[in-house]
Structure 1
Amino acid sequence: MEINEEEWELINDDGFVYKRLKRPRVHPTAAAAQRPDPEAEAKAYRERKKTVLLKLKTKYQQEIHHWEDLSNTLKSLQDRTQNQPPPTILQDQTVSFSQENSSDSSYQELTHTLLAQVEAQEATIYEVSRLCDVAEALCSAEEQRLMQPYIDLPVWRPSPQELMTSLLEE
């Protein structure tokens, strides 16, 4: 292979002198003809940006809707526990029990108050437990969604021949 001296150029880089192959020179009009239209590029960029922003908006709207549902559930739980009157069946049993064993009305009122508090706490614990189950289900679904691409990798296929075939393909 014969190297022509005209293909090389002498470069002086801050005192360090060396030769390198010449770069092809492009005529300015040819370079302008090769470039895509800047307006078309800008339009394509705006379209890509618009689709990305619309996807992001949809994602955030779904998340906001989910948080609003959880907030409304929590508010209804708080309202029920604060405004919940004690059940009448248990009150009647407590009243008859209190009248038989004690004539003092202060014991009766204390019993009703404590019973109402315990029932309100029971309802609160039930609702919080239900909300925890919902949160746990959401976390499990998200974890499964994040793990699925790794589970689907060809490394986990049962036969070594399939693994080697998939590795050779990629």
Structure 2
Amino acid sequence: MAATAGGGDGDAWEICNDHGFVYKRRRVVEQDDDEDDAAAAAPSSTPAPPPEAALRRRRCQALLRLRAKYLNELSRWESLSSDILAPLPAAPAAPPRPPSDPVAASPPPGSSSSDLDVVDGLLVQSEVTEQLLKRLSQACEEINEFCRAHEAALVDAVAELPVWGDPRELMNSLCSPADQPVPGTD
């Protein structure tokens, strides 16, 4: 992943491509000491997996986490939609009330029982509409709460970036140990 560039031995640079992030750094001087190679090889008894396999495994795990997240979100949306689309309970039929006032209970002259049936039907329809609107407003509140939580998570993720911290710490994390200035020599 690194290509060499530069002039002499003391000024050797290499260009590194780290998953799409391209940068230039000083070339690390490799020691040809056989003792150092033997000492470095002794502690690691198991060979490291090839970088492609590790990258593939990491990518697969990230995709599985993303899939689980999307499935969870889909199940939440399905439950919300099923709550909205569920049939409303039928309005209980009101038992006929005995007239307490015979004059007030009698239909006005000129109106028929079909008019009263239409009014009762419209009343039931308005109650069903009221229940539907309550469900929709409840679903909207849940969706708004979900959006607020998602927005808060995004704001927290951006606020935790190292760019917002101490500039010296940021520079130290970006520089290699050889390039870091010694404190007090500025």
Query: Shorter-normalised TM-score: what interval?
Result: 0.5 to 0.7
CA distance in 1, matches of 2:122, 2:98: 14
Alignment of 1:37-116 (within 5 A): 40-76=50-86, 79-80=87-88, 84-88=90-94, 92=97, 99-102=105-108, 104-116=112-124
The structure with the largest helix share of the pair is: 1
Which segments of 5 or more consecutive residues in structure 2 lack a partner in the other structure?
A: 1-5, 13-46, 171-186
TM-superposed CA distance for 1:75, in Å, is: 2.0
Q: Normalized against structure 1, the TM-score is what?
A: 0.57
- May I ask how many residue pairs the two structures share in their alignment? 125
Structure with higher RCO (Cα < 8 A, 6+ apart): 1
111-120 vs 54-63, which deviates more?
Answer: 54-63
Task: Give distance in 1, aligned partners of 2:119 and 2:52.
Answer: 75
Structure-2-length-normalised TM-score? 0.53
- Aligned Cα root-mean-square deviation (Å): 3.8
> Which sections of structure 1, spanning at least 5 residues, go unmatched?
1-19, 25-36, 157-162
Identity of aligned residues (%): 27
- Over 3 Å counting, the alpha-carbon distance change for 1:21 and 1:101 in structure 2 is closer
Amino acid in the other structure paired with 2:106: E
Contact 1:86 1:119 in 2 (8 A): no
Moved over 3 A (4+): 20-24, 91-94, 96-99, 149-156
